[in-house]
Structure 1
């Protein structure tokens, strides 16, 4: 088991704490509906050896777990490398480079048959006293939601076949939509891996940049297993008065199960303590 996997195993059982953050992660295979757990995640504080800086990601696999696990172990390393090689590039552009490089590597190796959605959050802190900036990137329907002043602010875009813009892009690329699925097969329109669908199901992420203020209290990252049965506002309202992020992530997971989510579940709550 890698150091990152070991950290993730610990994080799933109790809140992680570091300067600038406290994090809770809850996972469930959802055995009533799923034979295997195909999600993976990354949780890194003091990212690039800088306090108050962090990188967090959730990867929701389909057609197997290989792509999601590879991303959990490697995508943050690719991001770190891209940052160091492109110090003057906007971080959102670096995230786009990262996703595309990861997609290229996957499709040479791991991603021949499986794929995954991905949502990542990078909290940048240039120095001890600077304001922090939150960058997010996603492909597919895993989602990032920020709690700002007690209100839910979505920082991701659901790349799904039911989205008119994404469906048009698929058709314009030579594919077709059947029952809101790309070529009648895949429900998401962007992903990492999925080599056989790559002409249509691209790896370019949706990205955001948000300067954090005192009104920003926590971030929720979660796969669609939560969002299929819970909207952004309800998720924030359920946990905004809970101080312990592990308790908060577990409350969201329990809510998803009670409301008959049929998917694997991985939920990360990142408190932005500073």
Structure 2
């Protein structure tokens, strides 16, 4: 196979400075979402927005502050996998006996259980055969936990600065390429086994050489990033790759921040993002979720005034005046 251009990938990590972890800030959640088929002939994206995750499922909130679940699923080869995961993944998470403690273990288990459950469903009904990426965010008290399998992306706005809370799982990413090859797969022309342009997904059991009960090059296991939310954290954007095809992370944050300053409505903001992606000619389905962590709109950021005072010298002023006089003549 010809050699592929490798792309370095940032490792999974936890964003938690000492002062952040000691914060007594509790987020007040508001969320909204928007989806559009775009220029595609069918719609394969699905999203979830649940600001009161435990209450919606008839459970008592065991933690101080909110308990919320948000997700974006970008289907391929049909919508069945995205619909299936949208329905089953939240249930596997919330009905784990240990929820909400040990959240990363619970969510990892839920991703893999959902993947196996979909395999069983496809074995009964072959028309369901398809796959989907999965990006999920949970807010438990002050903790924000993002789990990702695929190329959807979550970006946190912290006082106007974009902080990526997931990394895109592309086959050309060096870490993913090594994992794929160690699992018996290969990357050809940027595609996993020459067929799929993502390195992680739920489903796709029908694609030969991708998955087996013992593993395979296409993984459904999510990667995690987490942080303790503080008063500087303003909102989170979650979007399918159709959004990020035409927005850089900081660009999306700047755009959304301006819109929230105008109307302070996360639903309108998500629609603004989708509409702008359409204007920028994104060629994919479009889905965006915006989660605000505060009731008030993002504040105007005032740049600190420079302490260095610059001035012209008397000689410089004379030279400038001489130059201006020469122009007049």
The normalised TM-score by structure 2 is: 0.72
Structure-2 residue corresponding to 1:233: 250
- Is 1:269 aligned to 2:277, yes or no? no
Q: 2:105 aligns with which of 80, 93, 98?
A: 93
Q: How far apart, CA to CA, are the structure 2 residues paired with 1:87 and 1:236?
A: 31
In the alignment of these two chains, the number of paired residues is 246
Question: How far apart are 1:53 and its partner, in Å?
Answer: 1.6
Higher Cα radius of gyration: 2
Alignment of 1:13-92 (within 5 A): 20-30=28-38, 32=39, 34-49=40-55, 50=61, 52-82=66-96, 85-87=97-99, 90-92=102-104
Structure-1 residue corresponding to 2:222: 205
Uncovered stretches (5+) of structure 1, i.e. residues with no partner: 1-18, 126-131
Q: How far apart, CA to CA, are the structure 1 residues paired with 2:286 and 2:201?
A: 18
Structure-2 residue corresponding to 1:186: 196
Q: How far apart, CA to CA, are the structure 1 residues paired with 2:99 and 2:66?
A: 19
The normalised TM-score by structure 1 is: 0.86
The question of whether the paired residues in 2 share the 8 Å contact of 1:70 and 1:110 is answered with: no
Q: How far apart, CA to CA, are the structure 2 residues paired with 1:212 and 1:89?
A: 18
Question: How far apart are 1:253 and its partner, in Å?
Answer: 0.9
Q: SS where residue 158 of structure 1 aligns?
A: coil
- Cα deviation, 1:25-71, whole Å, max 9, x if unaligned, reads 111101x3x11100111111211123622101110000000000111
RMSD: 1.7
- Cα deviation, 1:152-199, whole Å, max 9, x if unaligned, reads 111111111121111121112111111110110000000001113221
Structure-1 residue corresponding to 2:133: 117
More strand by percentage = 1
Alignment of 1:154-193 (within 5 A): 154-193=164-203
The question of whether the paired residues in 1 share the 8 Å contact of 2:246 and 2:277 is answered with: yes
Q: SS where residue 74 of structure 2 aligns?
A: strand
Q: SS where residue 230 of structure 2 aligns?
A: coil
Q: 1:88 to 1:37 in 2, by over 3 A?
A: closer
Q: How far apart, CA to CA, are the structure 2 residues paired with 1:43 and 1:251?
A: 17
Structure-1 residue corresponding to 2:159: 149
Runs of 4+ in 1 over 4 A off after TM superposition: none
Q: How far apart, CA to CA, are the structure 2 residues paired with 1:234 and 1:20?
A: 25
- Cα deviation, 1:199-234, whole Å, max 9, x if unaligned, reads 110111011221110111111011000001111000
Question: How far apart are 1:87 and its partner, in Å?
Answer: 4.9
The question of whether the paired residues in 2 share the 8 Å contact of 1:67 and 1:110 is answered with: no
Structure-2 residue corresponding to 1:9: none
Uncovered stretches (5+) of structure 2, i.e. residues with no partner: 1-26, 56-60, 296-329
Q: 1:88 to 1:244 in 2, by over 3 A?
A: closer
Q: How far apart, CA to CA, are the structure 1 residues paired with 2:156 and 2:44?
A: 25
Question: How far apart are 1:89 and its partner, in Å?
Answer: 5.1
Q: How far apart, CA to CA, are the structure 2 residues paired with 1:109 and 1:55?
A: 25
- Is 1:257 aligned to 2:278, yes or no? yes
Q: How far apart, CA to CA, are the structure 1 residues paired with 2:88 and 2:47?
A: 11
